[in-house]
Amino acid sequence: MATAAHSVSVFGMIAGLIGVMALVAVNALFLIWMERKVSAHMQLRPGPMEVGWHGAIQTIADALKLLGKELITPRDVDKPVYLAAPIVIFLPVLVSFLVIPFSQNLIIRDMHVGVLLILSFAALTVLAILMAGWASNNKYAVFGAIRSVAQNVAYEIPLLITLMSVILMVGSFRLTDIVAAQNRIWFVFVQPVAFILYIICATAETNRAPFDLPEAESELVAGFHTEYSGMRFALFFLAEYTNMFIVAALATIFFLGGWRGPFLPGLVWFLIKVYAIIFLIMWFRWTFPRVRFDQLITLSWKILIPLALANLIVTAFVLKLV
């Protein structure tokens, strides 16, 4: 998937797409295995051990099982929307990969509005969740969908503002520029508040615990994907894990110096940092109880957004003074 940054070649695009598809699938399989292992070891148990070395190909077995499952379509669903939702949730996730710089040269399209592209396509996942919830004709699913929309709208704002304070320092939306600007010091040390805010917002944005309200199983059974089975359910699952990869990749690019690091190749450093962030997000999930819905919205509107704004203003002032 490596092409020169600005040349548009058909071959490059196709190779890139195939590469992204492969990456998404392998990443999801790995993350699910990782999540099971991480949760297991936090819960005093070994996790999957039977299929492959320490259960390494357990998720492949599970994926095959899901492929063989019957695709149930309940009678009273809004059929076109119901069928479209799993695809709609998956497409924006793929697009986001186009602009992520995995290393110095490994990037499909180095667009000068890279950040905006990722964030705007990430916003589309809300649409898919709403479609799934509404079309399912199930009260619990609608609940999950409504919660998801309110949550995503509330958390996209502080997310954007925190990223803005970094963009303000760099002066560019281009992801490679942002990484290049960190050649002396990582932004996590310059903007620690922004980093913490970003991690909180990213956890909420990907619907992960303690902010997993759209699919809070003890309240809403399975939330917006209650009525989905087989591969359709698997697509939601895949999208969730890929989303996690994307927010972790953004955190790496914005705060942890992207692919930069000594000795090892850029790609390896990039992946190490991404999976470290993902481990952190998993750690949250297996430690905290779930917040209540109104508390979640309060946290965003009354604490995170003012903090992010203050951080942005302080950054602007400091930049002006220096």
Partner 1 sequence: MLERGLEEKFYVLNLGPQHPSTHGVLRVELQMEGEFIVKADPDIGYGHRGHEHMAENRSYLQFLPNLGRVDYLHALAYNQCYCMAVEKLLELKVPERAEFIRVITCELNRIASHLLWIGAYLLDLGAFTPFLYCFDDRENILDLLDRVTGSRLTYCYYRFGGVPRDVDDDFLAGCKAFARRLRSRYRDYENLVNKNVIFLERTKGIGIISQEQCVKYGLTGPMVRGSGIPYDLRKCEPYSAYPLFDFDIPVGSTGDIYDRYMVRYREMEQSLRIIEQAVDKIPAGPIMAEKVPKRIKPAPGEVYTAVEAARGEFGIYLVSQGDTTPYRLKLRVPSFGNLSILPEIAVDTLVADLVAILGSIDVVVPEIDR
Shortest spacing between CB 125 and partner 1, in angstroms: 21
How big is the CA angle at 244 (ends 241 and 250), to the nearest 5 degrees? 150
Which one of residues 295, 303, 313, 314 is an interface residue with partner 1 (CB under 8 A)? 295
Q: Residue ranges of the alpha helices (H) in the chain?
A: 10-42, 58-68, 79-96, 114-135, 139-170, 175-180, 187-190, 192-205, 217-220, 230-255, 266-285, 293-298, 305-321
**CB of 114 within 8 A of CB of 175?**
yes
Shortest spacing between CB 71 and partner 1, in angstroms: 22
Shortest spacing between CB 34 and partner 1, in angstroms: 16
User: Between 232 and 285, whose beta carbon lies closer to partner 1?
Assistant: 285
Give the CA distances from residue 62 to residues 12, 152, 202, in Å, rounded to whole numbers and listed in that order: 33, 30, 27
Binding to partner 1 by residue 286, rule CB under 8 A? yes
Binding to partner 1 by residue 294, rule CB under 8 A? yes
Per-position x/- string for 202-231, each x denoting binding to partner 1 as judged by CB under 8 A, each - no binding: -------xx-x---xxxxxx----------
DSSP-assigned letter for residue 256: S
User: Between 49 and 113, whose beta carbon lies closer to partner 1?
Assistant: 49
Binding residues for partner 1, total number by CB under 8 A: 27
User: Between 147 and 273, whose beta carbon lies closer to partner 1?
Assistant: 147
Pairwise CA distance, residues 209 & 245, whole Å: 16
How big is the CA angle at 220 (ends 234 and 292), to the nearest 5 degrees? 115
**CB of 224 within 8 A of CB of 129?**
yes
DSSP-assigned letter for residue 54: G
Which one of residues 23, 180, 290, 301 is an interface residue with partner 1 (CB under 8 A)? 290
Shortest spacing between CB 203 and partner 1, in angstroms: 13
Pairwise CA distance, residues 231 & 63, whole Å: 8
Which one of residues 189, 279, 288, 317 is an interface residue with partner 1 (CB under 8 A)? 288
Shortest spacing between CB 212 and partner 1, in angstroms: 7
Shortest spacing between CB 289 and partner 1, in angstroms: 4
Give the CA distances from residue 163 to residues 155, 168, 193, 311, 312, in Å, rounded to whole numbers and listed in that order: 12, 9, 11, 10, 9
Give the footprint of partner 1 on residues 121-140 (CB under 8 A): 139
Give the footprint of partner 1 on residues 53-82 (CB under 8 A): none
**CB of 7 within 8 A of CB of 111?**
no
Shortest spacing between CB 244 and partner 1, in angstroms: 17
User: Between 115 and 297, whose beta carbon lies closer to partner 1?
Assistant: 297
Binding to partner 1 by residue 43, rule CB under 8 A? yes
Q: Which residue has the tokens 């980093």?
A: 195
The pair of structure tokens assigned to 196 is: 């913490």
Judged by CB under 8 A, which stretch of 12-20, 78-86, 155-163, 280-288 contacts partner 1?
280-288
Binding to partner 1 by residue 183, rule CB under 8 A? no
Binding to partner 1 by residue 25, rule CB under 8 A? no
Residues at the interface with partner 1 (CB under 8 A): 39, 42-45, 139, 143, 209-210, 212, 216-221, 285-295
